[in-house]
Structure 1
Amino acid sequence: MMHKSATLGLLAAAGSAFAALQVDISSTSSIKAAAKDVAFDVMSVYKGNQSGEIVGLIGSPPPVGEYYWWTGAVLWSTMIDYWHYTNDSTYNAVTVQGLTAQNGPNLQSPFMPPNWTASMGNDDQGFWGIAAAKANEAGLPAPPKGEPSWLDLAKAIFQVQTVRYTDSEDACGGGLRWMIVPVNTGFDLKNTASTAVFLNLGARLYHATQNETYADWVEKGWTWLTTIGLVDDKFNVYDSVSTIDDCAKANKQQWSYNAGLLLETAAYMYAQKSSKSADSKETTTWKTRTTSLANRTVSHFFSADQGVLVEPLCENAGQPACTQDMSFFKGVTLRSLAGAAVLVDELRDPDHGVGQALRATAQATAKTCSGGKSGRECKFDWTGHAADQNAKLDGAPVEINALAAVLGPLAVESASGAGGNGNGSGSNGGNGNGSGSGDAGSGENGQSGTDDGNAGASLRVGMGVMVAGLVAALI
């Protein structure tokens, strides 16, 4: 049983095929049952296993479809967490298939499939690298014979990005550019998201391999973020800088996923450093970064009255509506906060900070899952009093966010050994030790880079730019 009771029984919508989502936040079995329902709904919007659809992606990227390539990585990261914290292997096979399908032709082009490479950002590729690292940590069943291991894929992406990082250090002294291809809009930006996913991946690899080279890179990148002003002394995390003015002025928009990714990065580093020496200077430094960033993230991105996650720049009154890209950020943030809490004892207090925020958000999210034809479709707004500019957001991002929210308290509980499947040590150095491949057929249906204030928020601008011959010259 979990810390305290906050039963969220919801009545079924009249005439609905399913009941509204029901979850007792004090009960592990109730949370797992609710997560199972939401996972079913998440995978119901995945069409990649249907004829004529793209395996591994939620749908066709713009301009044909709604969802950019990177969001496929968010889907599979969420489903890996679902399995890891519930031990339900139903979707393992389709997860393995989806990740493998979007890998590149070889380890020199990891997660750089030719169809999307010419419009790819470093953050896009980095999210797929994090998914591979998660698969390794959780012990997801191995890729098909002949394919590289999850760990080798994660390592390959990090290696490719270290080369790009080094190549662009003459511009502003460090950081990753947003876009990979020079002719694409946004190449002049060094956005926090690209560097954050790079550092998050590096911290995971350090935790998995004990190789100090990864730790050196994480320290190097973190120092650059603070020196250039993208992380300030109050642990606000800002959006981007431009190489056009030598990164002189940060775009001070704050998006939740940037803070979340860096918090999880710090937590990985703190956990690993403290395992080597509890009172070393490095351990103390990473502890301070972890706890300070956790406190600022909760105070800035969680509503003061309810303690529920919001995306202030596109969810609060007076702000423009969230784009489809932005609508995925909250799920990324919640998974990052849960991951940090699993690693660091200080973040698991159910009545304070991250632990309390995860519980409050799970509770609030479940209350919104009572709509649509199923009677349990969730909403993007979890506070109940936000502006209505996002009322039309539904489908994949909303359900993925809801699953991340419901899993949050379960992830925290798993750190004490009471939940989860026990497969992921974060340092197993391999993969394929999962509990089963699952039934792939179950539960499924078979603006940034401009001066308008959205510079690094992953809204693709000019992504239709395709130049023949660029793919072969990217690395």
Structure 2
Amino acid sequence: MRLLGARKSSPWAAIPLVLSTVVGVCQAIQLDVNDEDSIIAAAKVVAKGMVEYYHGNEPGQIPGNLPQPYYWWECGAMFGALIDYWYFTGDDQYNQIVIDGMMHQIGTANAFMPPNQTQSLGNDDQAFWGIAAMMAAERGFPNPPEGSPQWLALAQAVFNSQAARWEPATCGGGLRWQIFPLNNGYDYKNTISNGCFFHLGARLARYTGNKTYADWAVKTYDWSRNVGLITDDYKFVDGGKVPSNCTAKDPVQWTYNGGIFLSGAAFMYNNTDNVTDTAYWKQELQKMLDAQAIYFQDNKIMYEVACEPYGTCNIDQRSFKAYLSRFMGITAQLADFTHDKIMSWLAQSATGAAQNCIGGTNKQTCGGRWTLDKKWDGNFGVGEQMSALEVFQSLLAPRYRGPCTSGTCGNSTGDPSAGTGSAIQSGKYNRPATTGDKVGAGFLTTLCLALLLGGTYWLVL
């Protein structure tokens, strides 16, 4: 039963009729982009293939972790995909691994900062788990066990811990990429970290009605524009270097940067009845949407423009199209005027993805290059499966009710003060040991051992 995914009326017929052709190659996934049952069936096949990479629910394994070579953050992103999968399909077979995995990874202060991840923990990594928790609250996903922190409180903990890291002393504001000063990348303010903070603030503002979150979202968006992470023509660069006061930037563009800001703006647009604010966010949203064309080859099929044509996408980058697909789907839910363009892009991209899910021994393993004509590119993994899953199930987004708020269908318990512990905010929480720490520890150990032996010798005498 998909009661929580209640349909709403939508101009679904706007998807070009030419795309209604059923895709079928060998034993490839069958997909008719205009048929709900076909989309759900395709999503089920791809979700199964994705979850097969996850072993956190097996004896001796760690819940909430994917095996090497995947970084910790991607499991949080995968759980977000499975939350929407349940919402759109009604299939709850993966719900328990999501709940168990997320509860296991909340860490101290319930802010998704587990101690064993400190050596590579970025603000963006933490935020993807917070966004998954926010999705669970908005979608009405089954609540965590009684006595555990609830979905809304977990999202608030992430947001609060990051708000305390806002740093006006360099670049005039913004979040650094890494949380801990000793981590590689601490001297960089990247677009995805700040985009996630903006995005999460916009979602919390809409869900709770608390203006403070909206103020933070506006502040973050304005800073991102002013510092040049978002250019005048609405390109989203990768980030700015702190030593240059963010004047030196990496200009590369990634799909998820555009997606995170696009959907954040959609939440801001959907959450205001002020005529001036509505007009402003509609204008920004339209300009951002138009700029996403760079990620659609020939204005049709989504591709990772910075690496995909060259075969150089790394493990992380091979999942980025998943998030642009997800965020475009929710944008179409929240801002009707974006529907036609978004759904045309997603339908053509989903068609391309289905034509390339022909790899492996089962002939249903998804590749990463949707622009190839009925040809598997030989790549496979969590990122490829998740990207296909997200583009398939995002086709359903306009047919279903948008995200809940606390005043509508939301029932998750919040905690406005969650994640406000001083250590977790300052970046001093469980910091990785430095060489100096190790040398000092060795010296103290030697000194203690010498004193112990000396005292024993004196007692013997």
TM-score of Structure 1 vs Structure 2, range by shorter chain: 0.7 to 0.9
Alignment check: 8 A CA contact 1:141 1:431 kept: no
SS at match of 1:50: coil
Q: 1:392 to 1:372 in 2, by over 3 A?
A: closer
- Cross-structure match for 1:301: 295
Q: Specify which of 73, 77, 83 is matched with residue 74 of structure 1.
A: 77
Once residues 370 and 58 of structure 1 are traced to their aligned partners in structure 2, the CA distance between those partners, rounded to angstroms, is 24
Once residues 328 and 467 of structure 1 are traced to their aligned partners in structure 2, the CA distance between those partners, rounded to angstroms, is 31
* Residues 297-376 of structure 1 mapped to structure 2, 5 A cutoff: 297=292, 299-304=293-298, 307-316=300-309, 319=310, 321-349=312-340, 353-376=341-364
- Cross-structure match for 2:104: 101
Once residues 93 and 239 of structure 1 are traced to their aligned partners in structure 2, the CA distance between those partners, rounded to angstroms, is 35
Once residues 84 and 390 of structure 2 are traced to their aligned partners in structure 1, the CA distance between those partners, rounded to angstroms, is 8
TM, length-normalised to structure 2: 0.83
Once residues 284 and 174 of structure 1 are traced to their aligned partners in structure 2, the CA distance between those partners, rounded to angstroms, is 26
**What is the CA deviation profile of residues 18-43 of structure 1, one whole-angstrom value per residue up to 9, with x for unaligned ones?**
x4211111211111111111111111
Amino acid corresponding to residue 55 of structure 2 in structure 1:
K
Alignment check: 8 A CA contact 2:23 2:354 kept: no
- Cross-structure match for 2:7: none
- Cross-structure match for 1:172: 171
Alignment check: 8 A CA contact 1:8 1:366 kept: no
Q: Specify which of 24, 38, 51 is matched with residue 10 of structure 1.
A: 24
Report the CA distance between 1:370 and its aligned residue: 1.8
Amino acid corresponding to residue 366 of structure 1 in structure 2:
A
SS at match of 2:240: strand
- Cross-structure match for 1:34: 42
TM, length-normalised to structure 1: 0.81
Name the one with the larger helix percent: 2
Report the CA distance between 1:413 and its aligned residue: 2.5
* Residues 102-121 of structure 1 mapped to structure 2, 5 A cutoff: 102-107=105-110, 110-121=111-122
Report the CA distance between 1:414 and its aligned residue: 2.1
Q: How many residues align?
A: 403
Q: Specify which of 47, 58, 63 is matched with residue 55 of structure 2.
A: 47
Report the CA distance between 1:91 and its aligned residue: 1.3
Once residues 68 and 118 of structure 1 are traced to their aligned partners in structure 2, the CA distance between those partners, rounded to angstroms, is 12
- Cross-structure match for 2:395: 409
Report the CA distance between 1:169 and its aligned residue: 1.4
Report the CA distance between 1:181 and its aligned residue: 0.7
Once residues 251 and 385 of structure 1 are traced to their aligned partners in structure 2, the CA distance between those partners, rounded to angstroms, is 32
- Cross-structure match for 2:202: 203
**What is the CA deviation profile of residues 169-220 of structure 1, one whole-angstrom value per residue up to 9, with x for unaligned ones?**
1011111000111111110100001000111111110110011101100100
- Cross-structure match for 1:435: none
Alignment check: 8 A CA contact 1:149 1:430 kept: no
Once residues 209 and 46 of structure 1 are traced to their aligned partners in structure 2, the CA distance between those partners, rounded to angstroms, is 33
Once residues 31 and 311 of structure 2 are traced to their aligned partners in structure 1, the CA distance between those partners, rounded to angstroms, is 32
Once residues 100 and 239 of structure 1 are traced to their aligned partners in structure 2, the CA distance between those partners, rounded to angstroms, is 31
Q: Do residues 142 (structure 1) and 143 (structure 2) align?
A: yes
Once residues 242 and 195 of structure 1 are traced to their aligned partners in structure 2, the CA distance between those partners, rounded to angstroms, is 14
Q: 1:378 to 1:194 in 2, by over 3 A?
A: same
SS at match of 1:126: helix
Gaps of 5+ in 1: 13-18, 60-64, 416-421, 433-464, 471-475
Once residues 348 and 315 of structure 2 are traced to their aligned partners in structure 1, the CA distance between those partners, rounded to angstroms, is 25
Report the CA distance between 1:93 and its aligned residue: 1.4
Once residues 8 and 336 of structure 1 are traced to their aligned partners in structure 2, the CA distance between those partners, rounded to angstroms, is 25
Alignment check: 8 A CA contact 1:371 1:377 kept: yes
**What is the CA deviation profile of residues 98-124 of structure 1, one whole-angstrom value per residue up to 9, with x for unaligned ones?**
1111111333xx101111023200000
Alignment check: 8 A CA contact 2:349 2:391 kept: yes
Once residues 175 and 158 of structure 1 are traced to their aligned partners in structure 2, the CA distance between those partners, rounded to angstroms, is 13
Gaps of 5+ in 2: 1-10, 414-430, 438-461
Report the CA distance between 1:271 and its aligned residue: 0.5
Report the CA distance between 1:362 and its aligned residue: 0.9
- Cross-structure match for 1:430: 411
Q: Do residues 127 (structure 1) and 128 (structure 2) align?
A: yes
Report the CA distance between 1:258 and its aligned residue: 0.4
SS at match of 2:360: coil
Report the CA distance between 1:162 and its aligned residue: 0.3
Report the CA distance between 1:392 and its aligned residue: 4.5
Once residues 107 and 301 of structure 2 are traced to their aligned partners in structure 1, the CA distance between those partners, rounded to angstroms, is 38
Q: Could you say what the CA RMSD is over the residues aligned between the two structures, in angstroms?
A: 2.1
SS at match of 2:171: coil
Alignment check: 8 A CA contact 1:73 1:127 kept: yes
- Cross-structure match for 1:86: 89
Pick the structure with greater CA Rg.
2
SS at match of 1:241: strand
